């Protein structure tokens, strides 16, 4: 090794010989370098060997891969050939099956076509047979027509002969009876008219009785059910309010010095305060029920407080106005809630509340409106109408009475105008406007509201009439009854709810009595206005009196 190193590096050898210590060091360096070079050479040889082995392994792997690829390719080719053969076989089998199916379908179709041809042939034969029958019938009809024509000519000749004989008989009858044909016809028609009149009366009585029983039963059930479902209290009309006071000295305090207190009360409330000789009482009078209520509450507060002077009066009046307005709103809202009515504008609810202080023929208008709404809803539910709309129209039908003393016109038309401005339903508006027949009714709802209004007004204790109006209605009722021919006496009984008519039996027969009752009832309906209904009873009786001596 050293020789090889020194041979490779002669200067190093010479230097090592010349300097012993240096030589040793150099020798060590040379040895290290030589070892490194030798190791590097060995590593290079090893790497070349590894590279050669790797190449050889790669070649072997490549050869194996090529061999495997060839095997896989060959196997895939064999499998492809197998699949192709199987597909061809299946295709041939499917073709054979399709061909067989087609042949079977074709055979079935041919059989079906053959059946249809057979049926068509049978129908053709049947049509030929029917055509032959039709031709035969046509010929038979022609023969019958000829025969009928011959018979008609014979009948015509016989009819002419018969007419000549009838004319001869008529001439002979006219000669024997000493009457012309027209005179005999008139007598027959007169007798026929009497007979028909009697039959008409019988039919009217029969139909009236049948319809009366059915309709009366149904109507009574509906109305009684509706009225039973609502029980309202009776109220009494108040055009004045009486305020009790503890003593007559309070009257002087109410009047005040030179009447300043009473003038302040009247000016602030818009009422008339009547102080007369009535002991321990003051009367308040006003056509506006709301103002009268405010004045009544004010007077009661002043009397209980004892401090009565103009400033105190104005203070109490302002407070009472707020209280009454709150009560009005509360009353209107309670009525709406009680009936389950929704979507009413606040001003409409306020007008409803004002009806709490309004009376008509002793009947409180708000209570009357609630009663009408309740009965209208009950009847509408039984008759298949809109129950909610019926309640709504019934509650609002007298709305105009809240402002009829402020606006010109009838309360029905005023109320309809208010509801129209509020955007109410057209059917409800017409029901309100037509409930006193001031406009034409356009729906069954209007008829229902008019009926319930009459029911509420005519029930016992609901309203009271003045004596003059009551007597005038009875006189008109008896006057209508006495205006008919054959009436002997006529009486209005049961407070005008029944007209009892006594007829002359020799002029009015039993059948004509039914006609008379019908005609009299129709005339009463057309000419009179009355609550509820009026019963017309026609009485015909024949009395035979004989005395035994």
Residues pairing with 360 in the sheet: 363
Give the per-residue pLDDT at 426.
93
Give the per-residue pLDDT at 114.
86
CA-wise closest residue to 521 among 533, 508, 504? 533
Element (H, E) at 119: helix 20-177
Confidence of residue 116 (pLDDT cuts 50, 70, 90): confident
Query: Buried b / exposed e across 303-313, counting CB within 10 Å, b at 16+?
Result: beeeebeeeeb
CA 224, distance to chain mean position in Å, is 25
Give 358: exposed, middle or buried? Use CB within 10 Å, 0-12, 13-18, 19+: buried
CA-wise closest residue to 525 among 487, 499, 486? 499
CA 420, distance to chain mean position in Å, is 20
Q: In the structure encoding, which two tokens stand for residue 106, read together?
A: 């074709």
pLDDT value at 405 more than 80 = no
Break the chain into its structural domains and give their ranges.
2-151, 240-458, 467-539
Instruction: Let me know: does 538 contact 503? Beta carbons within 8 Å.
Output: yes
Cα distances (angstroms) measured from residue 547 to each of 96, 541, 544: 127, 20, 10
pLDDT value at 81 more than 60 = yes
Each residue's pLDDT tens digit, 345-388: 999 999 999 888 887 766 788 898 999 999 888 888 888 889 99
Give the per-residue pLDDT at 394.
92
* Mean pLDDT lowest among 243-257, 389-403, 410-424: 243-257
Q: Provide mean pLDDT across the span 191-212.
A: 68
Give the per-residue pLDDT at 19.
46
Each residue's pLDDT tens digit, 37-76: 777 777 877 778 788 887 887 788 788 878 887 888 888 8
**What does the alpha-carbon distance between residue 534 and residue 544 come to, in Å, rounded to a whole number?**
32
**What does the alpha-carbon distance between residue 229 and residue 60 come to, in Å, rounded to a whole number?**
113
Give the per-residue pLDDT at 200.
66
Q: Tell me: domain 240-458, CATH 1.10.3210.10, correct? A: yes
CA-wise closest residue to 230 among 332, 339, 386, 340? 339
Residue 238 neighbours by CB distance under 10 Å: 15
pLDDT value at 2 more than 50 = no
**What does the alpha-carbon distance between residue 538 and residue 510 come to, in Å, rounded to a whole number?**
10
CA-wise closest residue to 503 among 492, 513, 518? 513
pLDDT value at 233 more than 60 = no
Confidence of residue 464 (pLDDT cuts 50, 70, 90): very low
**What does the alpha-carbon distance between residue 287 and residue 292 come to, in Å, rounded to a whole number?**
8
Q: Provide mean pLDDT across the span 524-529.
A: 84
CA-wise closest residue to 431 among 382, 378, 369? 369
DSSP calls for 255-307: H-GGGHHHHHHHHHH--EEE--S-TTEEEEE-S-HHHHHHHHHHHHHHHHH--
Give the SS3 label for residue 507: coil
Confidence of residue 549 (pLDDT cuts 50, 70, 90): low
Instruction: Let me know: does 244 contact 281? Beta carbons within 8 Å.
Output: yes
**Helix residue ranges, H only, 178-229:** 181-228
Element (H, E) at 325: helix 310-339
- Per CATH, the number for 467-539 is 3.30.300.20
3-state SS record for 223-257: HHHHHHCCCCCCCCCCCEEEEECCCCHHHHHHHCH
**What does the alpha-carbon distance between residue 118 and residue 1 come to, in Å, rounded to a whole number?**
125
**Dihedral pair phi/psi, residue 407, rounded to 5°:** -120, 140
Q: Provide mean pLDDT across the span 288-306.
A: 86
Residue partners of 388: CB distance under 8 A and separation at least 6: 340, 341, 377
Confidence of residue 118 (pLDDT cuts 50, 70, 90): confident
Maximum Cα interatomic distance, the chain, rounded to a whole number of Å? 214
């Amino acid at each position: 090794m050293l020789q090889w190193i020194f041979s490779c590096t002669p200067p190093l050898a010479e230097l090592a010989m010349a300097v012993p210590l240096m030589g040793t060091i150099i020798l060590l360096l040379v040895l290290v370098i030589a070892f490194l070079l030798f190791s590097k050479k060995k590593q290079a040889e090893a790497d070349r060997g590894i590279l050669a082995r790797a190449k050889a392994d790669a070649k072997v792997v490549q050869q194996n891969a090529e061999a495997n690829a060839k095997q896989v390719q060959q196997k895939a080719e064999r499998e492809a050939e197998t699949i192709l053969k199987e597909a061809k076989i299946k295709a041939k089998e499917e073709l054979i099956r399709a061909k067989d199916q087609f042949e079977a379908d074709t055979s079935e179709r041919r059989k079906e076509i053959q059946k249809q041809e057979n049926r068509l042939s049978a129908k053709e034969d049947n049509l030929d047979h029917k055509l032959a029958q039709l031709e035969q019938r046509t010929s038979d009809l022609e023969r019958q027509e000829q025969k009928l024509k011959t018979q008609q000519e014979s009948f015509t000749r016989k009819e002419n002969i018969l007419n000549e004989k009838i004319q001869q008989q008529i001439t002979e009858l006219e000669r024997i009876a000493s009457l012309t044909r027209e005179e005999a016809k008139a007598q027959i028609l007169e007798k026929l008219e009497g007979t028909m009149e009697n039959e008409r009366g019988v039919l009217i009585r029969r139909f009236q009785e049948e319809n009366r029983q059915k309709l009366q039963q149904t109507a009574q059930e509906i109305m009684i059910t509706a009225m039973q479902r609502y029980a309202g209290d009776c109220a009494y009309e108040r055009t004045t309010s009486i305020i009790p006071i503890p003593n007559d000295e309070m009257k002087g305090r109410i009047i005040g010095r030179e009447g300043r207190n009473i003038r302040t009360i009247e000016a602030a409330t818009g009422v008339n305060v009547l102080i007369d000789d009535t002991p321990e009482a003051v009367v308040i009078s006003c056509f506006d029920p709301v103002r009268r209520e405010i004045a009544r509450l004010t007077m009661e507060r002043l009397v209980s407080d004892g401090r009565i002077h103009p400033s105190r009066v104005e203070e109490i009046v302002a407070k009472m106005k707020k209280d009454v307005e709150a009560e009005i709103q509360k009353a209107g809202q309670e009525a709406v809630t009680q009936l389950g009515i929704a979507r009413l504008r606040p001003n409409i609810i306020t007008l409803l509340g004002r009806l709490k202080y309004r009376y008509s023929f002793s009947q409180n208008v708000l209570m009357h409106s609630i009663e009408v709404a309740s009965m209208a809803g009950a009847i509408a539910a039984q008759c298949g109408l809109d129950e909610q709309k019926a309640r709504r129209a019934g509650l609002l039908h007298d709305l105009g009475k809240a402002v009829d003393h402020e606006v010109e016109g009838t309360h029905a038309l005023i109320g309809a105008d208010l509801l129209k401005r509020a955007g109410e339903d057209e059917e409800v508006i017409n029901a309100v406007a037509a409930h006193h027949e001031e406009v034409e009714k356009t729906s069954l709802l209007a008829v229902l509201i008019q009926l319930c209004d009459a029911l509420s007004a005519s029930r016992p204790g609901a309203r009271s009439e003045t004596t003059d109006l009551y007597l005038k209605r009875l006189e008109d009722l008896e006057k209508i009854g006495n205006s008919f021919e054959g009436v002997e006496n006529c009486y209005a009984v049961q407070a005008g709810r029944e007209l009892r008519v006594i007829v002359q039996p020799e002029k009015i027969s039993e059948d004509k009595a039914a006609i008379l009752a019908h005609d009299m009832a129709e005339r009463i309906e057309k000419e009179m206005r009355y609550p509820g209904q009026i019963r017309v009873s026609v009485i015909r009786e024949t009395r035979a009196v004989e005395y035994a001596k």
